[in-house]
């Protein structure tokens, strides 16, 4: 049982050693340890405050970015709408100009065709009349080669004419 119950001398010297150690620690180590703990506590508080400020700043920047993105999307949509309107306007103007030009080209072609047709008809008429005159001349020459036929034709013509 001696191991479980300490002697009075051991208790006395243990107490004295503890008090000396406590006095030395209180005199020399307590203030620096407490200062370090206070510094550490302040740095942790500062870090927490900075983290909260950074979180608030991030939330503000996020909201600002979202509003900027919303504005940019609205502006993009407006620009795309204007571009579509301009494209449609240009396309319709181009179609209208192409239709006008096509109608003008068709009318010019129609006029040219009519002119060519009239020229061709006049040429055909001239050729037909020239051929008719040539044929009539050949027929008349052949018919009038004989004097008796000429006299008979004149007599027939005179019979048909009534005075």
Angstrom distances, CA of residue 45 to CA of 35, 49, 139:
15, 6, 135
The total number of structural domains that make up the chain = 1
Contact indicator for 159, 149 with CB cutoff of 8 Å = no
Contact 144, 150 (CB under 8 A): yes
Let me know if residue 34 belongs to a domain: yes
Domain-located, residue 3: no
CA separation for the pair 160, 163 (Å, rounded)? 10
Asked whether residue 119 is assigned to any structural domain, the reply reads yes
Q: Is 1 part of a structural domain of the chain?
A: no
Residue 76 lies in a domain: yes
Along the 163 residues of the chain, how does pLDDT read in single tens digits? 566 777 888 889 999 999 999 999 888 888 888 899 999 999 999 999 999 999 999 999 999 999 999 999 999 999 999 999 999 999 999 999 999 999 999 999 999 999 999 999 999 988 888 888 888 777 777 766 777 777 777 788 778 776 5
Would you say residue 2 lies in a domain? no
Range of the domain at 129: 8-160
């Amino acid at each position: 049982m001696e191991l479980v119950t300490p002697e009075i001398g051991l208790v006395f010297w243990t107490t004295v050693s503890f008090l000396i150690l406590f006095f030395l620690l209180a005199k020399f180590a307590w203030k620096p340890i407490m200062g370090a703990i206070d510094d550490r506590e302040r740095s942790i508080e500062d870090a927490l405050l900075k983290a909260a400020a950074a979180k608030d700043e991030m939330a503000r920047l996020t909201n600002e970015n979202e509003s900027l993105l919303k504005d940019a999307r609205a502006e993009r949509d407006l620009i795309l709408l204007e571009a579509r309107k301009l494209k449609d306007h240009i396309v319709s103007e181009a179609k209208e100009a192409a239709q006008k030009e096509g109608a003008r080209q068709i009318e010019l072609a129609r006029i040219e065709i009519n002119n060519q047709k009239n020229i061709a008809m006049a040429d055909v008429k001239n050729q037909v009349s020239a051929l008719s005159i040539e044929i009539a001349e050949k027929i008349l020459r052949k018919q009038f080669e004989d004097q008796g036929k000429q006299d008979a034709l004149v007599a027939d013509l005179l019979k048909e004419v009534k005075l």
